[in-house]
Amino acid sequence: MKNAVTTCMMLWLLLSPFAAWTQTQDLLIFRNLKRVDIPFEFRNNFIVVKVIFNDIFPLNFIIDTGAEHSILTKREIADLLQINFSRRFPIMGADMKTELYAYLATGIRLKINNLYFNNYSMLVLEDDYFRFDEFSGVDIHGIIGADMLRRFVVKINYEKKVITFTDPSVFKEPGSKFVEIPVQLKRNKPYVFSNIQLQNNTVLPVKLLLDTGAGVSLMLHSDTHPQIVVPANVVKSNLGMGIGGAIEGVVGRLPAFELYEGMKLNGVVTNYQDIKHVTDTSYLNGRHGIIGNRILSRFNLIINYYQNKVYLQPNKLSKRRFAYDRSGLTIVCSGINLNTFTVLDVVAGSPADHAGIKAGDEIRKINGVPTKVYSLEEITNKMQGRIGKKMTLILRRNGERVKTNFHLRDLI
């Protein structure tokens, strides 16, 4: 099963004045602490932290280094609290043509563990365009973007599931186990310079956005360089939801990806997105793609926004093979407890396709076990199981019970 939601390119303000509003001074309180450790959940390749919104609502926000601004994706929360909007902004949809809208909310109070923000400004989406809940399997209410992260040195320990915010004035360079890699910060978003090995063994230098808001390994924009071509063995994929629609593309394997000198990852599951229909690519800032959490989670990561530095330390997952769906199913979740699982898409010619599974089918049981007991992430992992494993599914289709089965196999 595939999941790949990315926010970095899908919130593109058509009007620039919002940048001026983000300069509003808010009050940041460390309570005399110079470092704050914040636990997070790593759910379906997203970093999810608990946020107390306006002293009342406990919400879930994604930590997103690829988003320029913090965003409340659930407008109903702002409406319930009677938050006034000072501006309405047009934003570009996922198709880069449709014009949608967001609002500017000011005077927001946020508490993230021992971090406090008063008089904070953030965007509120007119509708929940991202539908993170469906793809992550957890209620998501917003995004913590670079406008907040840039104030600190940010360390993400994926193994311990802790993100550390450090006052830049007391930050000390990490030890020799960390490697400093070249980085460029543009509008407070980090871009790194790496190498990809293509199918013809050519090594190509690329500029990539380091994006903790992307639930992918690697995404390449296939029209940003003549040598970035889609490999022969790919499957069509719904890469996730952007503002106002699905992000379409294909998925294959890159022979090798050298994140930095001496750190080569082989057989990287790579999403290829065609952007030739985009007339204005200035929002890309010259990048060729995105590094997402399925690679970043193999490292301890430090971003020093003040000194334009990024450090990486491999963890025990760094050399693990990149797993990918072996069923051909894209599954989303819904319902109050997010434990109703529905087929969004089926790859043509895949095991699920040959088994007659169709988009819109509700999955009720997997190998005799009711799906209500599973999370979306657990079902994702099951669909990445060993080659040849038999999967027996009980489906509900148009009110009828349907039983079918298939055997897992490699698709890419």
| Statement to judge: residues 224 and 260 lie in one domain | yes
Q: Would 320 be classed as within a structural domain?
A: no
Range of the domain at 187: 179-314
Side-chain-side CA neighbours of 235 within 13 Å: the count stands at 24
- Final residue before a domain boundary, out of 314, 338, 361: 314
For residue 168, which phi and psi values (nearest 5 degrees)?
-55, -25
Q: Would 321 be classed as within a structural domain?
A: no
| Statement to judge: residues 41 and 123 lie in one domain | yes
- Exposed/middle/buried for 397, CB within 10 Å: 0-12, 13-18, 19+? middle
- Given this model, what pLDDT does residue 118 score? 87
121-160 pLDDT, tens per residue? 999 999 888 888 998 899 999 999 999 999 999 999 999 9
Distance in angstroms (rounded) separating the CA atoms of residues 358 and 6? 25
**pTM for this entry:** 0.90
- Final residue before a domain boundary, out of 105, 139, 164: 164
| Statement to judge: residues 303 and 362 lie in one domain | no
Two tokens, residue 327: 């069923």
**pLDDT greater than 60 at residue 411:** yes
Distance in angstroms (rounded) separating the CA atoms of residues 185 and 173? 19
Q: Would 107 be classed as within a structural domain?
A: yes
Count of structural domains within the chain: 3
CATH number for the domain that contains residue 223: 2.40.70.10
Distance in angstroms (rounded) separating the CA atoms of residues 376 and 156? 24
Q: How does residue 97 score in pLDDT terms, banded at 50, 70 and 90?
A: low
Q: Would 45 be classed as within a structural domain?
A: yes
- Given this model, what pLDDT does residue 129 score? 80
Q: Would 171 be classed as within a structural domain?
A: no
- Given this model, what pLDDT does residue 211 score? 95
82 in Cβ contact with 76 (< 8 Å) = no
| Statement to judge: residues 22 and 158 lie in one domain | yes
Number of DSSP helices (H) and strands (E) in the chain, helices first: 7, 29
User: What is residue 318's three-state secondary structure?
Assistant: coil
User: How many other C-beta atoms can be found within 10 angstroms of the C-beta atom of residue 401?
Assistant: 10
| Statement to judge: residues 65 and 24 lie in one domain | yes
| Statement to judge: residues 88 and 57 lie in one domain | yes
13-43 pLDDT, tens per residue? 444 444 444 444 555 666 667 899 999 999 9
Instruction: Say which amino acid occupies 347.
Output: V
Distance in angstroms (rounded) separating the CA atoms of residues 363 and 343? 7
Chain centroid to CA 221: how far?
16
| Statement to judge: residues 355 and 389 lie in one domain | yes
Q: Would 203 be classed as within a structural domain?
A: yes
Higher per-residue pLDDT: 144 or 9: 144
Q: Would 205 be classed as within a structural domain?
A: yes
- Given this model, what pLDDT does residue 30 score? 61
| Statement to judge: residues 83 and 193 lie in one domain | no
| Statement to judge: residues 142 and 76 lie in one domain | yes
Two tokens, residue 150: 């840039």
Concatenate the DSSP letters of all residues of 395-408 into one string. EEETTEEEEEEEE-
Q: Would 398 be classed as within a structural domain?
A: yes
Instruction: Say which amino acid occupies 148.
Output: M
| Statement to judge: residues 156 and 213 lie in one domain | no
CATH number for the domain that contains residue 384: 2.30.42.10
| Statement to judge: residues 159 and 36 lie in one domain | yes
Nearest to 256 by CA among 187, 314, 201: 201
| Statement to judge: residues 192 and 282 lie in one domain | yes
